[in-house]
C-alpha cells in the first residue's frame, strides 16, 4: 500500500496495532485489536475516536461565496448563521448525487466545506467549473488541518477534560464553536456519522493532531476504525455515498434527491418517518436464537439493481436494512416487521427490519422514530 495517502494520525494507528486498509486511496484503520463489535458498543456506551482526516476540507470565501455555495449545494446556505453547520448534497442536473457534504460556518467571512475523501478530486473539478461565474475562491486545507470525530455519550465530558473545562458548543446538532486548549485552536462541530445524540467532529492544525488524539485517549476515549463507523451509521439509518447515493453497483444513478422530494411532498416540516423497528434508541430488545448474534455485512443482488446496506444492529438487537429505492418487491412484503432476505455467510437466514433513510437538507429533518 505504498502508493496510498496517509493521514496526520497514521503513525498512531499503526502503533496501536490497527488493521490498515485501502479506503478511497487512503491507508486507513479498519479496526483495532479490540475488534469492530467492541468498538461499536464502546461508542454507544462511552466515547470513541475516529480519524476522519482523509475527508476533503475546503475553505470558501469572497464577496459571492454565499451565492456560489447556494448554487452548488442543496441546502439553504443563505440561512446559515455563524457557529452553525448544515448537511448538504452536491446535486447534478438529473437529481442524482455528485457527493454529500457538510458546510460549517466557524467565521463570518469564510465557509468550511467537508466532502468525502474518495470524491474530493471529482468534487473540486465540479466546484472549480462553477466558481468561475462568481467572485469567490476555494482553498484546499486537507493537509493543513486534521479531523477527529469524538462520538458517544461521554464525548462532551472528555472534550471538556482536554480543554480545561471549556464550554464545548450550544446544545443540539450542527452547533459550532472555536475553542482554545493549551494555546491550540480547535474548531468543534456538534456533528458526526454515528447517530449518537452527543458527538463532535474536531478540526485541529495538523501539527497538533497527535496531541489532541492522545489527550482524548488519556481522558478515556478509545480509537475505532472504519468497520465500526459503518455499522454505527447503518444502525442510525445514515446514507453512505456509493451505497445509498451516487452510483449503484450496476452503474445506474441513485436518484436520492427525487426520493427526498417525494417524501417532502407528503410530509410536514415536523414529520417523523416511522421505522418498523419502532423502539426508543437505547431500548433493550431481546436476542432470539433464530437471529444472528454477530455483525454480518452482506452484499446481495436485488431486482432493478437495488442493493441495500445490511447489518446486525448491536444496540437495537435486530438486523436492519437501509434503502433509498422504492420497488414493487417492498409492496408485496408481509405486514410483519420481519422478513427473510438472503442466507448470511454463516448460513443462517438473515432477516431484516427496513429503516427509513435519515436526511438533513432544505430545513427539513426526517428521522426514524426510534432515534
Return per-residue pLDDT of the chain as tens, 371 residues: 568 999 999 999 999 999 999 998 999 999 999 999 899 999 999 999 999 999 999 999 999 999 999 999 988 999 999 999 999 989 887 777 899 999 999 999 999 999 999 999 999 999 999 999 999 999 999 999 999 999 999 999 999 999 999 999 999 999 999 999 989 999 999 999 998 999 999 999 999 999 999 999 999 999 999 999 988 888 777 878 877 788 776 777 776 665 555 544 444 333 322 222 222 222 232 333 232 222 222 222 233 333 344 444 444 444 444 444 333 232 223 333 333 333 333 333 333 444 433 332 222 222 222 22
Strand 246-247 with 222-223, pairing: unpaired
Strand 318-322 with 349-355, pairing: parallel
- 227: helix, coil or strand? helix
Regarding whether 149 and 21 lie in a shared domain, the answer is yes
Regarding whether 169 and 40 lie in a shared domain, the answer is yes
Regarding whether 177 and 37 lie in a shared domain, the answer is yes
User: Looking at the domain assignment, is residue 323 inside a domain?
Assistant: yes
Tell me the longest C-alpha to C-alpha distance in the chain.
Answer: 62
The number of CA neighbours under 13 Å toward the Cβ of 265 is 6
Regarding whether 159 and 38 lie in a shared domain, the answer is yes
* Direct distance between the N- and C-terminal alpha carbons of the chain, in angstroms, rounded to an integer: 39
- Give the per-residue pLDDT at 275: 27
Helical pair 36-45 and 226-235, crossing angle rounded to 10 deg: 60
Q: How many domains does the chain have?
A: 3
* C-alpha–C-alpha distance, residues 185 and 65, integer Å: 24
- Give the per-residue pLDDT at 262: 53
Are 200 and 49 in contact by the 8 Å Cβ rule? The answer is: no
CATH number at residue 71: 3.30.70.1400
| Domain hosting residue 89, numbered range | 56-140
Regarding whether 155 and 286 lie in a shared domain, the answer is no
User: Looking at the domain assignment, is residue 231 inside a domain?
Assistant: no
Regarding whether 150 and 25 lie in a shared domain, the answer is yes
The number of CA neighbours under 13 Å toward the Cβ of 238 is 18
Helix, strand, coil tally for the chain in percent (to 5):
25, 30, 45
Among residues 140, 174, 209, which one ends one of the domains? 140
- 299: helix, coil or strand? coil
Regarding whether 338 and 265 lie in a shared domain, the answer is yes
- Whole-structure pTM value: 0.76
Regarding whether 190 and 255 lie in a shared domain, the answer is no
Regarding whether 356 and 252 lie in a shared domain, the answer is yes
Residue 301's Cβ-count burial label (10 Å; 0-12, 13-18, 19+) is: exposed
- 35: helix, coil or strand? coil
- Give the per-residue pLDDT at 288: 30
Phi-psi region of 304 (alpha: psi -120 to 50; beta: other; left: phi over 0): left
Helical pair 155-162 and 209-219, crossing angle rounded to 10 deg: 120
User: Looking at the domain assignment, is residue 260 inside a domain?
Assistant: yes
Among residues 116, 140, 164, which one ends one of the domains? 140
The alpha carbon of 108 is separated from its chain's Cα centroid by a whole number of angstroms, namely 25
CATH number at residue 214: 3.30.1360.120
Regarding whether 152 and 133 lie in a shared domain, the answer is no
Regarding whether 68 and 188 lie in a shared domain, the answer is no
Regarding whether 32 and 61 lie in a shared domain, the answer is no
Among residues 140, 171, 190, which one ends one of the domains? 140
User: Looking at the domain assignment, is residue 233 inside a domain?
Assistant: no
- Give the per-residue pLDDT at 361: 25
Amino acid at each position: 500500500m505504498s502508493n496510498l495517502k496517509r493521514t496526520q494520525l497514521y503513525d498512531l494507528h499503526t502503533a496501536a496495532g490497527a488493521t490498515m486498509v485501502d479506503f478511497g486511496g487512503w491507508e486507513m484503520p479498519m479496526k483495532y485489536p479490540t475488534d469492530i463489535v467492541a468498538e461499536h458498543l464502546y461508542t454507544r456506551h462511552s466515547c470513541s475516536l475516529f480519524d476522519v482526516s482523509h475527508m476533503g476540507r475546503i475553505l470558501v470565501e469572497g464577496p459571492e461565496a454565499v451565492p456560489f455555495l447556494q448554487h452548488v449545494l442543496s441546502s439553504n446556505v443563505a440561512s446559515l448563521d455563524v457557529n452553525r453547520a448544515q448537511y448538504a448534497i452536491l446535486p447534478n442536473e438529473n437529481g442524482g448525487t455528485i457527493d454529500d457534504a457538510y458546510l460549517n460556518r466557524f467565521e463570518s467571512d469564510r465557509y468550511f466545506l467537508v466532502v468525502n475523501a474518495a470524491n474530493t478530486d471529482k468534487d473540486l473539478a465540479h466546484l472549480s467549473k462553477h466558481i468561475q461565474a462568481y467572485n469567490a475562491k476555494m482553498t484546499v486545507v486537507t493537509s493543513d488541518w486534521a479531523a477527529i470525530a469524538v462520538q458517544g455519550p461521554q464525548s462532551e465530558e472528555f472534550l471538556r477534560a482536554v480543554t480545561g473545562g471549556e464550554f464545548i458548543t450550544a446544545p443540539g446538532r450542527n452547533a459550532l464553536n472555536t475553542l482554545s486548549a493549551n494555546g491550540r485552536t480547535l474548531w468543534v462541530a456538534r456533528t458526526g456519522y454515528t447517530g449518537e445524540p452527543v458527538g463532535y467532529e474536531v478540526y485541529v492544525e495538523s501539527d497538533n493532531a497527535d496531541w489532541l488524539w492522545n489527550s482524548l485517549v488519556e481522558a478515556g476515549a478509545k480509537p475505532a476504525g472504519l468497520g465500526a463507523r459503518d455499522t454505527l451509521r447503518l444502525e442510525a439509518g445514515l446514507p453512505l455515498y456509493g451505497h445509498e447515493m451516487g452510483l449503484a453497483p450496476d452503474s445506474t444513478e441513485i436518484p436520492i434527491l427525487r426520493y427526498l422530494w417525494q417524501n417532502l411532498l407528503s410530509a410536514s416540516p415536523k414529520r417523523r418517518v416511522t421505522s418498523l423497528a419502532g423502539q426508543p434508541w437505547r431500548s433493550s430488545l431481546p436476542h432470539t436464537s433464530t437471529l444472528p448474534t454477530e455483525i454480518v455485512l452482506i452484499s446481495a443482488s436485488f431486482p432493478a439493481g437495488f442493493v441495500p446496506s445490511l447489518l446486525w444492529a448491536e444496540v437495537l438487537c435486530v438486523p436492519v436494512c437501509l434503502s433509498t429505492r422504492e420497488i414493487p418487491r417492498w409492496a408485496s412484503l408481509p405486514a410483519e416487521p420481519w422478513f427473510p432476505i438472503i442466507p448470511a455467510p454463516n448460513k443462517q437466514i438473515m432477516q431484516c427490519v427496513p429503516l427509513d433513510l435519515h436526511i438533513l437538507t432544505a430545513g427539513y429533518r426526517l428521522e426514524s422514530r426510534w432515534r
